Amino acid sequence: MPLSEAEKWLDHLGSCSPCYSDFSQFQATYQRRRTRTILAIAASILIVASLAGWASFLRQKEPLVTQTAVLDLRNRSIPRGTEQNPAEPPLEVSRAARHWDIYLPLGSSEGSYDVRIVTRSGETVAAISGVAKLTDQVTHLRVEVNVSSTQAGTYVLQVRKTGAEWSSYPLHVE
């Protein structure tokens, strides 16, 4: 009730103890209801914010950006079979990289290529095929590789034109 309407009752409330007691109970009930409403709204906001944070955390477990690894073999010597040139540092690739851009050694031709990653003992970790294309005098092979479950360490990257002999390169998976 607006104060202008309550003005005629103020004198009575100030002098009548039972009416003032009733008024105080009404006022206390109103304050409790208002406090509960505010707490319910605050709890709802907190629950929604927590759920949004949890959903965001779950989405971040997947990489937001697909990583690309570039493996440049253009200036590497071309070893055959399982031989490797010990003077060359290993190629490095992250386990998170799913797209591999392999620049094949100079003079490599276009066409179908096989790529595999093997352990030093010769066990195959991953095997993929792709088609190399010549662009700006560079033979470029793009393959999709999933080594996310592979342990970090040193492996051998083997590349060959389909049906030809393997060329091997040291590879370090991080």
- Whole-number Å distance between alpha carbons of 145 and 114: 12
Which pLDDT does position 76 carry in this prediction? Answer: 80
Distance of CA 1 to the CA centre of its chain: 58
Contacts with 101 (C-beta within 8 Å, 6 or more apart), sequence order: 68, 69, 70, 71, 140, 141, 142
Q: Is the pLDDT of residue 75 over 90?
A: no
- Give the model confidence (pLDDT) of 105-134 as tens digits: 988 899 999 999 999 888 999 999 999 999
- Cα separation, 95 vs 173, whole angstroms: 6
What does the pLDDT look like over 80-108, one tens digit per residue?
Answer: 544 555 567 899 999 889 899 999 998 88
Name 128's Cβ contacts closer than 8 Å, sequence gap at least 6: 114, 115, 116, 143, 144, 145
Query: What is the pTM assigned to this prediction?
Result: 0.59
Domain range list for the chain:
3-60, 67-173
* Alpha-carbon gap, residue 113 to 61, rounded angstroms: 33
Half-sphere exposure of 137 (CA within 13 A, CB side): 1
**Residue holding tokens 């034109």?**
161
Give pLDDT, residue 84. Answer: 53
pLDDT at 137: 86
CATH top-level class for 67-173?
Answer: mainly beta
Mean pLDDT of the residues in the chain: 86
